[in-house]
Amino acid sequence: MQQNTWINEALELKSQGLSGRKIAKILGKSKSRVNEVISKLYFNSGVSFKGETKGPKILFFDVELAPILGHVWRLFDQNVGLNQIESDWYLLSFCAKWAHSDEIYYFDQSKQENIEDDYLLLLELWKLLNEADIVVGHNSKRFDTRKANSRFILNGIPKPSTYRQIDTLEIAKRQFGFTSNKLEYLTDKLCTHNKKLSHGKFAGHLLWAECLKGNQEAWKEMKEYNIADVLSLEELYNVLSSWDNNLPNLDVYVDEILDMSEWEEDGFHYSNLGKYKKYRNKITGQQKRSRVNLLPKEKKDSLLSNIV
């Protein structure tokens, strides 16, 4: 069998949901060799970014995981030992979307012969994260990106290219005092076009349980649920971002001199050692300041700094 032939066949079998172990057995190759080849082809498969050409590549994303299944003897205050775990968690699905693009990326395990083999799903997520300059999620710093990284390393997939993270949960906690900081509450109160969906036919944990059983109706609801999370996340980010001064400066990603037509002068900003022109965005209300200290040299030289 020629090399290109077996590689193409391996990719075809993987797209049909077969595990690396089964593909290796069919093609007479080692499992590690099959996974290595598939990984390299995916990692070098070119870009999929389809957002604006100017500015950073901002990716909104959300992952859904299979639950850990184990043996317990009671419902409350239960400690589960490692030897009580019957099956560990893995990636069930994910949705992602680039800023300034209408295209939605959704992948799941609904067609996989072995639902616990999330290798192909991880490669799709890796490609998107690897291209991103900035990744946005809700509670993503503590959950989504850490979970993705865990599955990457467990499957021998290298670390994606470094990206910066924006977590809308952190913005909500840092700037406001909402009754709840959950995505469901925030998008219901603040978003007008997209809101986090409530579960339909399969309420709560039942949705995950039915997906594990292969219920295609449940998988359809999971897709709608996952996509709505990302669309509402993007709208929530657009609402909250102008309130937070700790976010990355997106202007540094633009090579050209900035267009200041959307900004108007709005008084001055004072630091302990400087005076700067302050600007407000006419559309978003976001505030920024100039980097030029307006104080005369003699004044700057005479200022004393606090001892901290």
Say how far apart CA 202 and CA 219 lie, in whole Å: 10
Say how far apart CA 67 and CA 87 lie, in whole Å: 9
pLDDT at site 3: 42
- Decide if 132 contacts 125 (C-beta within 8 A): no
The tens place of each residue's pLDDT in the chain, 308 residues long, gives 334 567 778 877 877 777 778 888 888 888 777 777 776 666 655 555 555 557 899 999 999 999 999 999 998 988 999 999 999 999 999 999 999 889 999 999 998 888 998 988 999 999 999 999 999 999 999 999 999 999 999 988 889 999 999 999 999 999 999 999 999 999 999 999 998 888 778 888 999 999 999 999 999 999 999 999 999 999 999 999 999 988 888 888 888 888 888 889 999 999 999 999 999 888 888 889 999 999 999 999 999 998 88
* Same domain as 206, residue 119: yes
* Same domain as 197, residue 127: yes
Does the residue 252 lie in any domain?
no
Does the residue 297 lie in any domain?
yes
pLDDT at site 49: 59
Does the residue 78 lie in any domain?
no
Does the residue 80 lie in any domain?
no
Number of domains in the chain: 3
Q: Which CATH number characterizes residue 230's domain?
A: 3.30.420.10
* Same domain as 163, residue 94: yes
Domain membership of residue 286 as a residue range: 259-302
pLDDT at site 219: 95
Does the residue 249 lie in any domain?
no
Say how far apart CA 198 and CA 39 lie, in whole Å: 36
213 Cβ contact list (under 8 Å, min separation 6): none
Does the residue 253 lie in any domain?
no
- Decide if 86 contacts 70 (C-beta within 8 A): yes
Q: What global pTM score does this model have?
A: 0.81
* Same domain as 283, residue 144: no
299 Cβ contact list (under 8 Å, min separation 6): none
Q: In DSSP terms, which residues pair with 135 in a beta bridge?
A: 59, 165
